[in-house]
Amino acid sequence: MKITISVAQMDVSFGKPAENFARIESFVAQAATEQADIVVFPEMWNTGYDLSRFNDIADVNGLQTLHVFKALAQKYHIMIHTGSVATKRGNQFFNTTYIIDENGELLSTYDKVHLFGLMHEDEFLTPGSKKDQFEVKGVPATSVICYDIRFPEWLRTLSLNDSRIIFVPAEWPTPRMPQWRTLLAARAIENQSFVVGVNRVGADPENRFGGNSVVIDPLGNNVLYLGHEEELKTVTIDINATDKVRGFMPVFADRRPDLYE
């Protein structure tokens, strides 16, 4: 099974959802032109980390995100991983991913589980407590958000359900780019899965963001690698590679969960 993935490495206007929403369609249109099955956006691109203003700018119940992306998925007949957006539900704020299929149907919702204190998420956001599991063209997949990749036990838990692709939208600052690359490669190798990491570029008042979005195969090799500029790139992956690696080195079968608690 082959899956074509477009990575939308976008810049984000700080605290300006209208400007950010206005730029989304061009990425989806380009991905469709490049015949992608799915297009993937970075983390919290609707607002950036303008956390103290979330009461005014977070997407209430994700309604704008869902409305815009469902329409785009139908118009371009493409599956969309929304990256993540700042959402407001009741009086709480979340960092939320939506997965929408090519018919505009919502497949899954995920709230970031591990909140990143260095960027003050823990002061403003409520953490999620559910897994994200969905299928891309019938292939089991999962998704986390940025800092979540520092928790291998969480990605392992998500991968035990036969997942073959792990999506990782991010706002990962430039000084820690070597860690971004190493952690993503490690998660790919240990879970014998493809990893799709989509980072933003540009800057906000506190950080510069390093791009370097990447698609990594189950052996840890980059099959797509972006630089530091805003751009969309597309690659086709062959999911059979995960069967080959898992057949050759049966890591999942060799686990000793009886020792892990």
Give the footprint of ligand LYUYDEPV on this chain (CB under 6 A). 43, 116, 119, 146-147, 150, 171-173, 176, 179
Which residues touch 38 (CB under 8 Å, ≥6 apart)?
3, 4, 5, 6, 78, 79, 80, 81, 136
Active site residue 146: yes
Show contacts of 89-92: CB within 8 Å, 24+ apart. 89/60, 89/61, 92/125, 92/126
Kindly name the residue from 112, 121, 171, 233 that is annotated as catalytic.
Answer: 112
* Torsion sign over Cα 118, 119, 125, 130: negative
Q: Shortest approach of ligand LYUYDEPV to residue 49 CB, angstroms? A: 8
Q: Shortest approach of ligand LYUYDEPV to residue 168 CB, angstroms? A: 10
Cβ proximity to ligand LYUYDEPV: between 137 and 176 the closer is 176
Cβ proximity to ligand LYUYDEPV: between 114 and 246 the closer is 114
Q: C-alpha 225: how far from its chain's center?
A: 15
**End-to-end CA distance of the chain, in Å?**
36
Burial of 46 (0-12, 13-18, 19+ CB in 10 A): buried
The rounded distance, in Å, linking the Cα atoms of 95 and 64 is: 15
The rounded distance, in Å, linking the Cα atoms of 257 and 113 is: 23
Cβ proximity to ligand LYUYDEPV: between 44 and 79 the closer is 44
Active site residue 19: no
Q: Shortest approach of ligand LYUYDEPV to residue 155 CB, angstroms? A: 13
Tokens of 31: 């991905």
Cβ proximity to ligand LYUYDEPV: between 69 and 172 the closer is 172
Tokens of 200: 């933003």
Cβ proximity to ligand LYUYDEPV: between 30 and 213 the closer is 213
The rounded distance, in Å, linking the Cα atoms of 58 and 219 is: 38
Active site residue 123: no
In the chain, which ranges are continuous DSSP H helix? 17-22, 24-33, 54-57, 63-76, 121-124, 152-159, 177-191, 240-248
The one-letter amino acid code at 157 reads: T
Q: Shortest approach of ligand LYUYDEPV to residue 129 CB, angstroms? A: 17
Contact between 235 and 215 (Cβ < 8 Å): yes
Cβ proximity to ligand LYUYDEPV: between 4 and 174 the closer is 174
Q: Which residues are designated catalytic?
A: 43, 112, 146
